[in-house]
Amino acid sequence: MLGASLLGISGLSGALGCASGGATAGSTAAGSGAGAGDGPRARPPGEPMRVLILGGTGFLGPHFVRAAVAAGHEVTLFNRGKTNPHLFPELPKLRGDRREGDLAALEGKHFDVVVDTSGYVPEHVSATASLLSSARQYLFVSSVSAYANQGQAGLTADAPLAEHPEPGNDDVRQFYGPLKALCEQAAEAAMPGKTTVIRPGLIVGPGDPTDRFTYWPVRLARGGEVLAPGQPEDPVQLIDARDLAAFMLLCLERGQTRTYNAVGPAERLGVGAMLEAGVAALGVDASLRFASAEFLAEHEVQPWMEMTVWVPPSDPEVGGLGQVDASGAKADGLRFRPLGETFVDTLAYWNELPEARRAEPRAGLAAARETELLALLAGKDASADAAA
């Protein structure tokens, strides 16, 4: 069995414009949108917004900042100044640490909209949202790990959320999903009718510190026979951080105060098609060798962390996380770049990292272990052929 908070803390970590079609702001679309505020609060066309981002220098944050700046908005960052402090030297930065209750730099400040990409503990979200409640909109980045039944296919944004089994315990690594659910509630309580909640699944692309998707472009680039998980048609979902950032900005510009599942791609995607898209985009000589979920379990190969992106769709705990319903977000403007582009750009990002960092991947299957497993599969096939 896989843990109930599969995406983990690193699951949350730039600017493809979203189309202007789709449902109007505040409308209800079936599927992944739930609830609505008391009407749109979209800024007048062409008027820049004063945007505060809580965080902004990790993975998703920089993509959002770049998108907002490119669109002409006035962006301010609030963070500790410890993660990638070299980023955005031209932008105003407020220093503080809400984990320590240090919000003094925000006192007396007013912003049109607030973006929270770094909230994990409900008390922290409540404090910042309350202090910034004069804003017209608060966008909180949550996670599909907030759902109670992650083994259910087709989860919509109104599906039941996880309940915290130990109220008051703020151990984020242990209770990531339930805490995210409570953070959503804290934001809405502080700014009723003015919150937007976005629940992404696996966020991927340039800048990803987890290596969970990055494993595949790096592995495919080496070529040869590649061990692939499950069955080719097993569903997988992911979203390029740049597409997610563009959708977040669109929600703010249109004043869309709803809850969305933000997962991609636009159509159902099997793990086989995902990997074949990578092979084609990278132009590599690689062939896929699929190993069943039973084989991988027998040989203690971990879904998600070793066979990355994929989880067995039949897993009763998390099998639904490759089949989440994002129809509401897509109706309201979420758009996706070609998957091949994400493969190419992620590999380019990886190749620019320091050699010491590339020498120690944080996810994926070690090369020697993959060779061992491929040999076991070949021996299994030979035995089956001899018995036939």
- pLDDT tens digits for range 285-338: 999 999 999 999 999 999 999 999 999 999 999 999 999 999 999 999 999 999
Both structure tokens of 264 = 């991609």
Average pLDDT over residues 199-212: 97
Q: What is the mean pLDDT of the chain?
A: 90
Q: What is the pLDDT of residue 215?
A: 98
Strands 137-141 and 203-204: unpaired
pLDDT at position 251 over 50: yes
- pLDDT tens digits for range 50-88: 999 999 999 999 999 999 999 999 999 999 999 999 999
Q: What is the pLDDT of residue 13?
A: 31
For the entire predicted model, the pTM comes to 0.89
Sheet holding 195-200, edge to edge: 33-34, 259-262, 195-200, 137-141, 113-116, 50-54, 74-79, 93-95
Q: What is the pLDDT of residue 252?
A: 98
- pLDDT tens digits for range 7-38: 554 333 322 222 223 333 233 333 456 654 44
| Pairwise pLDDT comparison (4 vs 161), residue with the higher score | 161
Contact 124, 98 (CB under 8 A): yes
The Cβ-side half-sphere exposure at 150, using a 13 Å CA radius, reads 25
Contact 279, 162 (CB under 8 A): no
Average pLDDT over residues 365-382: 92
Q: What is the pLDDT of residue 18?
A: 29
Q: With 0-12 CB in 10 A as exposed, 13-18 as middle and 19+ as buried, what is 356?
A: exposed
**Confidence grade of residue 46 (pLDDT, cut at 50, 70, 90):** confident
Both structure tokens of 158 = 């109104």
Nearest one of 224, 188, 240 to 344, comparing CA atoms: 240
